Amino acid sequence: MDISGKELAKQFQEKLKEKISREKHSITLAFVLVGKDPPSQAYVRMKERACSEVGIKSLKIELPDETTEFELLELIGNLNSDPSINGILVQMPLPSQINEEKVLLTIDPDKDVDGFHPFNVGKMITGDKHAIIPCTPLGVLKLLEAYQIETKGKHVVVIGRSNIVGRPLANLLSQKRAYGNATVTLVHSHSKDLSNICKQADILIAAIGKPLFVTKEMVKPGAVVIDVGINRVNDKIVGDVNYSDVKEIVSFITPVPGGVGPMTIAMLLENTYLLAKEQNCSLS
């Protein structure tokens, strides 16, 4: 059965739109885009559109490729101190002259909609209930919850250990929490016998960035497969999982597109709303 992230994201956004319409204060998310990377431009456009659909204002700041680190950090400082800005998203990747870590550290943790600031990462890892959780891992948890896919006691294998997807997901799924309590194996490019490990998974999550990497031979019949990958192949978007091959033997699978991607955007809106609520509460 397909897990429709598209449908679930729509439902989330409708509920969020209603909540936002009842807010006294307007909510604004600032997007900072450095350079002319076409996929980054497309992602920001998609996120802006989603913001406008739920009633979040967006402020897009486009900077040239040759922007210096100092200029970007100065801009972030200004956005941090601007009370009309509730959230800040700096679209990655950044040009090579800019240190991404420094950028993440400069964003005020209270405006960090991506949940990438080490302060927020620390809160998440220690299981703080009010932590801002990175959008893609949060989207995956919401998908599992919506389809009542229990994780307690299950063996979850996460392929990929990036700070934005694999590592936080593996941490969250192993926490003592609803849709946690799983036995988690995190594998990466140095893992041995990957195929065999994947085959032991009750829930297999692929976040690799390699088109159609996961094949039927790597999946246990009846398993749940979550495909985070977004790869462009000959003008088509495909996941990290060979969907048509794997679909035949699994109980649930997320398609690409239409699976995790729309949930990532919905969770960005949710995080923006949550941060704005906290800021407005501390003002009143």
Catalytic (active-site) positions: 47, 91, 114
Quick check: 133 and 125 in contact, CB under 8 A? Answer: no
If one asks whether residue 231 binds ligand NDP (CB under 6 A), the answer comes out as: yes
| Contact residue for ligand NDP among 165, 203, 204, 253 (CB under 6 A) | 165
d(CA 76, CA 98) in angstroms, rounded, equals 13
d(CA 100, CA 7) in angstroms, rounded, equals 33
If one asks whether residue 95 binds ligand NDP (CB under 6 A), the answer comes out as: no
CB of 281 to ligand NDP, least distance (A): 29
If one asks whether residue 214 binds ligand NDP (CB under 6 A), the answer comes out as: no
Instruction: Considering only the stretches 26-34, 41-49, 189-197, 270-278, report the one whose residues sit in contact with ligand NDP under the rule CB under 6 A.
Output: 189-197
Produce one character per residue of 100-112: b if its CB has 16 or more CB atoms within 10 Å, e if not.
Answer: eeebbebbbbbbb
Which CB atom, from 183 or from 191, has the smaller least distance to ligand NDP? 191
| Contact residue for ligand NDP among 57, 155, 188, 199 (CB under 6 A) | 188
Quick check: 169 and 205 in contact, CB under 8 A? Answer: yes
Nearest Cα residue to 272 out of 9, 10, 47 = 47
**Token pair for 115:** 């949940």
d(CA 284, CA 279) in angstroms, rounded, equals 9
Which CB atom, from 120 or from 264, has the smaller least distance to ligand NDP? 264
| Contact residue for ligand NDP among 159, 218, 219, 225 (CB under 6 A) | 159
CB of 59 to ligand NDP, least distance (A): 22
CB of 258 to ligand NDP, least distance (A): 10
| Contact residue for ligand NDP among 210, 216, 247, 277 (CB under 6 A) | 210
d(CA 225, CA 119) in angstroms, rounded, equals 31
Mask: binding to ligand NDP, 129-148, rule CB under 6 A, as x and -? -------x------------
CB of 186 to ligand NDP, least distance (A): 9
If one asks whether residue 168 binds ligand NDP (CB under 6 A), the answer comes out as: no
Instruction: Considering only the stretches 18-26, 104-112, 141-149, 186-194, report the one whose residues sit in contact with ligand NDP under the rule CB under 6 A.
Output: 186-194
Total of chain residues touching ligand NDP, rule CB under 6 A: 25
Q: Is 257 strand, coil or helix?
A: coil
> How is residue 111 annotated by DSSP?
G
Instruction: Considering only the stretches 68-76, 83-91, 105-113, 208-216, report the one whose residues sit in contact with ligand NDP under the rule CB under 6 A.
Output: 208-216
Instruction: Considering only the stretches 9-17, 176-184, 187-195, 270-278, report the one whose residues sit in contact with ligand NDP under the rule CB under 6 A.
Output: 187-195
Distances (CA, A) of 94 to 43, 58, 133, 232, 260: 14, 20, 22, 20, 24
If one asks whether residue 208 binds ligand NDP (CB under 6 A), the answer comes out as: yes
Helical (H) or strand (E) element with 231: strand 231-233
Strand 231-233, strand 236-238: pairing:
antiparallel
Amino acid at 29: L
d(CA 253, CA 236) in angstroms, rounded, equals 19
Q: Contact positions toward ligand NDP, by CB under 6 A? A: 136, 159-162, 164-166, 187-191, 194, 207-210, 228-231, 260-261, 264
